[in-house]
Structure 1
Amino acid sequence: MPPFKALALCGLLSTLNNTALAASADQQDWIDLFNGKDLADWAIKIKGSPLGENIHETFRVEDGLLQVRYDNYPSFTGEFGHIFYQKRPFSYYRIEVEYRFVEQQAAGGPEWARRNNGIMYHAQSPESMALDQDFPLSLEYQMLGGLEEGERSTANLCTPGTQVVIGQALRKDHCINSASQTYNGDQWVTVGLEVHGRELARHFVAGKEVMSYRDLQKDDGSAHGSGYIALQAESAPIDFRSVRLLNLEGCMDPSASNYKSYLVKHDAGSCQFNGEE
């Protein structure tokens, strides 16, 4: 092959390789926490019952949906439940959830829990919860359904054992409303959360930011920057169609083969070079 053709071919291959690397760096590696088939990788903790006991089949999978149901309960007597993604805790990430409220609230459920659920994040581990503990220490991305009259925002913040800063004020309110609209009926709603350790959290509904806060803390003022993810069962039947997560912590070295352009927290130990695994 003539030298100039060889050089041109090398240049083309280099360009194609760089283009492929750039595309790979931009490709977002979302993880499906719920596989649509079963509750593998999830741990159930319901107040008054030991870890792993799914009383009255509160949490179940049917028709590809992760469901919370109360049809097997004689009545609800405070059995607040949580289902934890147990494979690992997270610190910097985005999470996206599709949900819809369905049916009627369980008999005996508290008034405030009507069409009420939440994504508990930066939560304590399920193993560390006490037998009769209502809620894990966590921050809660609260999801509310409309009650057909008045306004009732979703994507609110609740703070069991935690506190945050909004603007310049330390907020210790148990729940703080977002700027979202009201979602009545049994419609599907897509919500999102982006959290950067203890520094920042942002709430989204249908891709629109409706709330943000910073300096995530425990009630004693200590930093609170990581933990487990859980979904609630508070007496309101609900379906989850999708629960997925994008880790924002990883290799931020552009020379590494697993570099990702969208990351916000560098983990040097995760970087791979020259085909290393």
Structure 2
Amino acid sequence: MKSITHSVPLFLKKSFKIVSVLILILMCNSCQNTKQQGSTTIQNEGLKSDENWQSLFNGKDLDDWIVKIHHHDVGDNYANTFRVIDGAIQVNYDGYDTFDERYGHLFYKEPFSSYHLKFTYRFTDQWMKDAPGYTYRNSGVMFHSQDPATILKEQDWPISVEFQMLAEDQPGQPRPTGNMCSPGTEVFYQGQMDPRHCINSSSDTYKWNEWVIAELIVHQDSLVIHKINGKQVLEYTKPQIGGGVTNGYDPKIKQDGKRLTEGYIGLQAEGQGVEFKDIMIKELK
């Protein structure tokens, strides 16, 4: 039996090509819309998470904060060391004659466990010359700290972990900020207990009067991350009570080896003027 070959008219071939192109265009538009919808969903989720941020500082007063200064009772804000100036919490020493080791801390009124903390800081040109040399352009934020009510009058630093802030000392010499220091505590760094009191971060060096955005991400006692101006600069694990540096504490409080899963947040004053603003926190599940 002979096969019969049907020829397809040219206009039908062209029509088929046009229809095929239209189908491809529609499919691509559909894929693009799906991607945009997915991106919008992610952005919306981000907006939802932003709603969980709360301010720890109202920009007006220190009503939600507790002062503890070495040589003074809890609540005694000696010489108005901590004050509110132009919407920022300022550490100011214009009421001091001598520093006399008055290491101070301003604690938020309640403890936190897992959270993301953000704050902005810069140093001022005040520095008490009778303070130790290492305090020059040096301050910090303490976290997982003991309750300020348990800090004795002659205790110098709270048992806590410190997000240390530094600024340039000598031009051209690196001096990173966002470091970790450990008064009465210890941490694991790169998988093992680190004996150093302070561990430097990988951050850049900043001028003393430059506003810097700092972030602290704490997952109870499992992981701690430091960020400076949006960049991660340090990571460590297993914060716990131990080690030295802190003096004058109640022995019942310093239980070496106890993992720190929560604690108070405190702004530091150790002879160098500094300002804090935009102090925000988001609790993490």
Give the conservation status (yes or no) of the 8 Å contact 1:190–1:206: yes
Rounded to whole Å, the distance in 2 between the matches of 1:36 and 1:172 is 39
Amino acid at match of 1:50: D
Give the conservation status (yes or no) of the 8 Å contact 1:148–1:184: no
**Paired residue secondary structure (1:103):** strand
1:201 aligned onto 2:237: no
Rounded to whole Å, the distance in 2 between the matches of 1:102 and 1:223 is 35
- 1:244 corresponds in structure 2 to 280
Rounded to whole Å, the distance in 1 between the matches of 2:136 and 2:152 is 25
1:111 aligned onto 2:133: yes
Rounded to whole Å, the distance in 2 between the matches of 1:106 and 1:202 is 31
1:227 aligned onto 2:263: yes
- 1:274 corresponds in structure 2 to none
- 1:155 corresponds in structure 2 to 178
Deviations 1:191-242 (A, max 9, x none): 1000000000000000100000011211122211100000000000011122
Deviations 1:28-50 (A, max 9, x none): 41111111100011000000111
**Paired residue secondary structure (1:76):** coil
1:126 aligned onto 2:162: no
- 2:159 corresponds in structure 1 to 137
- 1:55 corresponds in structure 2 to 78
Rounded to whole Å, the distance in 1 between the matches of 2:259 and 2:142 is 17
Alpha-carbon deviation of 1:168? 2.1
Alpha-carbon deviation of 1:56? 0.9
Give the conservation status (yes or no) of the 8 Å contact 1:148–1:185: no
Higher helix residue share:
2
Amino acid at match of 1:217: Q
Rounded to whole Å, the distance in 1 between the matches of 2:179 and 2:50 is 30
1:72 aligned onto 2:95: yes
Deviations 1:160-209 (A, max 9, x none): 11111111221131111000111123010001000000000000000100
Deviates more, 1:188-197 or 1:104-113: 104-113
**Paired residue secondary structure (2:111):** strand
Give the conservation status (yes or no) of the 8 Å contact 2:125–2:273: yes
Rounded to whole Å, the distance in 1 between the matches of 2:122 and 2:50 is 29
Alpha-carbon deviation of 1:27? 4.1
Rounded to whole Å, the distance in 1 between the matches of 2:99 and 2:225 is 33
Q: 1:96 aligns with which of 118, 126, 132?
A: 118
Amino acid at match of 2:280: R
Give the conservation status (yes or no) of the 8 Å contact 1:100–1:186: yes
Specify the structure having the higher radius of gyration (Cα): 2
**Paired residue secondary structure (1:112):** helix
Rounded to whole Å, the distance in 2 between the matches of 1:223 and 1:72 is 39
**Paired residue secondary structure (2:127):** coil
1:172 aligned onto 2:195: yes
Give the conservation status (yes or no) of the 8 Å contact 2:137–2:208: no
* Equivalent residues, number: 228
Give the conservation status (yes or no) of the 8 Å contact 2:93–2:126: no
Deviates more, 1:152-161 or 1:142-151: 142-151
How large is the Cα RMSD of the aligned pairs? 1.4
**4+ residue stretches of structure 1 with deviation over 6 A?**
none
Give the conservation status (yes or no) of the 8 Å contact 1:164–1:217: yes
Give the conservation status (yes or no) of the 8 Å contact 1:59–1:66: yes
1:218 aligned onto 2:241: yes
Q: Which runs of 5+ in 1 are unaligned?
A: 1-18, 249-264, 266-277
Give the conservation status (yes or no) of the 8 Å contact 1:117–1:233: yes
Rounded to whole Å, the distance in 2 between the matches of 1:156 and 1:99 is 14
Alpha-carbon deviation of 1:25? 4.7
